[in-house]
Each structure stands twice: as C-alpha cells, then as structure tokens.
Structure 1
C-alpha cells in the first residue's frame, strides 16, 4: 500500500479509502450481510488500507456500527475514520441539516456506533441553505477544540459555497475544511470546472466518491447488452444514467488501454484518478474481496501522458451540469 498526506495536514492516509456505503441493508445493491461486510473490512486492513469513509445516514447508522465492530482490536492510532452529518436521521424538525443542535446530537451517535472516543475526519455531507454558515462552522470548531474530532471535511457543493466556507472560517478563526469529497471519475468530470481548482489552490485534500461511476467504469456493462442480474444498474438510476453515447466512448477508451496493459477497466479508471496531482485517495466501494484486491492492484498501473489524453478526449468537463447543483 502507498500512503500520502491528506491535503496540507500532517495526516497520513492510504492512497485508497474504503467506502462503507455498501455495508448495510435496505437496498438490493447493498451487501445485506454483516459478517461479509466485516470480512471485506478485515481484508482491507490486511492490504494496508487505513482510511475508511462512512456516514450516519448510511443505512441509518448500520454502516457505522459495522465499521465499529470490524475495527475492534486493531490499532486505533493507525486508523483514519471518516463519517458525515447532514441527512435526516428520523422524523421531526431537528433530525437533519447542519444546525448546532443536529451536529452535536449526531456526533455522539456516530461515536457510539463507531465504538471510538474520537472521529478523525468529520464531514458535512451537503450544504445547508437553511442554517447560517457561521453556526455550522462554530459547532464544528467546537468539536475539534473538544477533541471529539481531529479534522473537518466537506462533500458535494458548488465552488462558491466551498470558497465561502473557507474564507469565513479564516476570517472568524474557525477550523477550516481540510479535505473535500467530490463526485469525480472519468465520466463525471464536472468538478474540474467547479471545485478542484479551489482545492488545488487552497491545499485542500481531495477524496473522490464514485470513482467507478457506480460500477459503469468497471466494464461490467455493454452498450448493446442486457443489464446483468444483480448488478447495481438493475435497480439504481445512478448507474443507469451513465448509459450515454459520450460515456460509452469513454468506456471504449478505458477498455482499449486496459487490454494494452493487461489490466482491468476498473484498474485503469482508478489509475487515471491516482495520476491526478489534486487527488489524495479515491473512495472504493468494493462489495467483494476479489474486487477490493483488484482495486488495490490499480496502484501499480502506470499511465503515460498520451494514455491519459486518450481517456479524457471523449468528454469535456462542464459546470453546472444538468441534475447537479
């Protein structure tokens, strides 16, 4: 395993982060297997992955509790646990958002489920238009000062919102966001025209989610073929929405380079991300141990400048894009 610093912090994280969205129940594409989920986490630890990303809203806390159980007995000081807050955690007017109340309530639940005294990286899952930014930043700053949280992060927002959050934290003397989670992969490159230039300029770490576009870039789907039974695209619009002519051309390039290198499409797609200077650690969401091992082997795939250009040629990054805000 390779390691890198998260943004400008002194925190060392593995070049791949294990995403824990799949470790829960409620959706057909999830693992729906607690023991099997723990096996995947255990294998990730054996492979040297020390960075794990979850959220309180993933299966209403089930993902956090699975991760907490899996890491029991391991060296906590070497693990980097990341979770998130924003989405509703029940019915009622104060069960969601980024108010001081919701943040302080939810961090306690996450700590309990993760079975830990502190969270390494606490992230706002979305932007909250209904809560003053200063209230949110003040609550997050308090968590760092109290020792319950080590670093702060954010996810999925417009560039002007993230810039506002950074300069407000600087002006008011609050802890600033150390990293950002954007949707970023070979067919979702809109953040190149939105958030990534800000992160590069501000020294903010980048931890992309959906690096394989919901499995589309893993090469399991064919332009003229039926959707495989049991695949995510069978029940999830997120993956089905990637079935466009432009994206199929990207996948054609991925498959061609994969064949040339005796690698898999997933490995080439991850290698492209790992070759981006702004990217610290893509979040891989493997549901099977063999897929996890395949993803880790992407670290050894080298791409030339010409190969990177071939992968990028079919698509031009634009912001905003339809359906995203």
Structure 2
C-alpha cells in the first residue's frame, strides 16, 4: 500500500480508502444491495491486511447500520487508533430540527449519535455530506470547530458542492480562526470529470486533499457498456448518474476495455489507476461488496498507465452538467 498526506494537512492516508456504503442492513435506508456484519468481516480484515487505513461511511448509509458494522469490525480487530475513521452529516436521519441539516443543534446531535454507533469516542474525519443553504455558514463552521476543540472530532471535511460554496466555507473559517476543511470528497471518474475545471485546481492551490468517490462510476467502468449488475437494478440514485452523452460514455468504456486488454488487467484496475494518477487525488474510495472486488482494486496500485494510454482514456470525454450534489 502507498500512503500520502491529505492535501497539505498532517493526516496520513492510504491511497485507497474502503467505502462502507455497501455495509448495512438491507431493509434500512435506500441501499437494498448492502451486506451484513458477517459478510463484511472478511472484506474489512483483508483491507487491513493490505494496509488500507481509511474507512469512510456516513450516518445515513443504511440509516446508521453501516456505522454500526464498521465500528464493530474495527473494534473487533483492535485497530481503532491505527486507522482513519471518517463519517458524514447532513442527510435526514429523523424528524425534528436535530435530525437533518447543518445547524449547530443537528451537527452536535448527529455527531453524538454517530460516535455511539461507531463505538468510539472520536471521529478522525467528520465531513459535511452536502452544503446546507438554509443555515448560515458561520453557524456550521463554528459548530464543526467546537467539535474539534472538544476532542470528539480530529479533522473536518466536505463533500460534493459548488466551488463557491466550498470557498465560502473555507474563508469563513479562516477569518474566525476556526478549523478549516482538509478534504473534499467529490464524484470523480472517467465518466464525470467536471471537478477538473474548478474544484480540483482550487484544492491543489489551497492544499486540500481530494477523496474521489465512485471511481468506477457505479460499476459502469468495470464492465462492458450496457451490462447490468444486481446493484444497478436496485440503485435508484445511481440510475440518475452517467446518463449524459451516452455515445461519449460508450467510447470511454470501450477505451478502458482496450487498455485493460493490453495490460492483462481488469477494467476496474485501469479506471482506478487513472484516478490515482490525477494530481488532486489523495485517496480513491472503493466500495467492495465482495472480497474479490477488493482484491481486484488493490491491483490498480501496481498498474502504470502511459501518457498515450491516458490520452486514449480521456479523449472521448465531453462537457456535461455536474450531478450528484
């Protein structure tokens, strides 16, 4: 495993992170493809054995049960103080003013609930899942800073928003001497590269690490275009992604297949290797639901793509509206 810093922060992270959205009770929340504790255990164990140190979840994943599962497994392995445990806040978890959003009341209530589910007394990286236009950014940033000062959170990060929103949050924190975001978790893959226009240059300039989510484009880059997995058939949110310019997408997926064949590698390895090569990326999030998925992803770390191969992969891309915010 290779390691780097999260941007210019002091936090060391593995180049691959284990995304835990696929862990949870299938009858909770909106992810019916999830796997339970016993099925997740060998995947987490293999991730630890491979040197993965970043485990990313969210309070809303399977309505809290993802946090419960990853917290249980990390505590079973007695590695809590050796890993970076990341979770998120924003999406509704229940009725009332403390069950959703980024108000001070909601952030404190949801942080405490996540700590309880995770079975820990601190969160390494606490991320706002989206921007909340209904709450003053000063209230949100001060609340996050107070969590850091209290010791319940070590670092704060953000996910999927417009650059002006992210910049406003950063400079609000800077003006008040509050904790700033060390990371941006955004959608980034060969089928969605819009973050290259503004978000990634901003992060590079400001020393903010990028955690790329969905590097395989919800599995579309891991198989021939038009093939369907069980998850694709039940992932209602995923059906809203990667629908723009199907001809361009088809050509990109075909290019991935050609490069993979030339290397004797899998399509997933090629897509991941491309993502890891990008200068803004500190760590790419992989979300395996099978042990073989993780083993395959780890192979991307040893796959070197030539400049010509990267050009082949990138050439069919067309401008598109950003989605996933």
For Structure 1 versus Structure 2, the TM-score category normalised by the shorter chain is over 0.9
Which of 147, 171, 176 matches 1:143?
147
CA deviation after TM superposition for structure 1 residue 93, in Å: 3.4
CA deviation after TM superposition for structure 1 residue 91, in Å: 1.9
The Cα offsets for residues 165-219 of structure 1, whole Å up to 9 and x where unpaired, read as: 1111111111000000010000011111231111111010000111101000111
From the superposition, tell whether residues 246 and 46 of structure 1 become closer, same or farther in structure 2 (CA, over 3 Å): same
| Aligned ranges 1:19-34 → 2 under 5 Å | 19-24=19-24, 25-26=26-27, 27=30, 29-34=32-37
In the alignment, is residue 36 of structure 1 matched against residue 39 of structure 2?
Answer: yes
SS at match of 2:281: coil
Which of 208, 213, 218 matches 1:209?
213
Q: What TM-score does the superposition give when structure 1 sets the normalisation length? A: 0.94
In the alignment, is residue 56 of structure 1 matched against residue 59 of structure 2?
Answer: yes
Name structure 1 gaps, 5 residues minimum: none
Which of 263, 266, 272 matches 1:264?
266
CA deviation after TM superposition for structure 1 residue 92, in Å: 2.3
Alignment: residue pair count: 318
- Is the CA contact 1:191–1:317 (under 8 Å) kept in the aligned structure 2? no
Distance 2:42 2:278 in 1: 31
CA deviation after TM superposition for structure 1 residue 43, in Å: 1.3
Distance 1:29 1:257 in 2: 33
- Residue 128 (structure 2) aligns with: 124
Name structure 2 gaps, 5 residues minimum: none
Q: What TM-score does the superposition give when structure 2 sets the normalisation length? A: 0.94
Which of 164, 169, 174 matches 2:173?
169
| Aligned ranges 1:166-205 → 2 under 5 Å | 166-205=170-209
SS at match of 2:212: coil
Distance 1:262 1:33 in 2: 33
- Is the CA contact 1:192–1:317 (under 8 Å) kept in the aligned structure 2? no
Distance 1:301 1:295 in 2: 11
SS at match of 2:217: coil
- Is the CA contact 2:31–2:62 (under 8 Å) kept in the aligned structure 1? no
- Residue 6 (structure 1) aligns with: 6
CA deviation after TM superposition for structure 1 residue 317, in Å: 4.3
Distance 1:28 1:93 in 2: 25
Distance 1:17 1:97 in 2: 26
- Is the CA contact 2:59–2:114 (under 8 Å) kept in the aligned structure 1? yes
Distance 2:96 2:196 in 1: 37
The Cα offsets for residues 41-88 of structure 1, whole Å up to 9 and x where unpaired, read as: 111111111100000111111000000110114232211000000011
Distance 2:183 2:97 in 1: 29
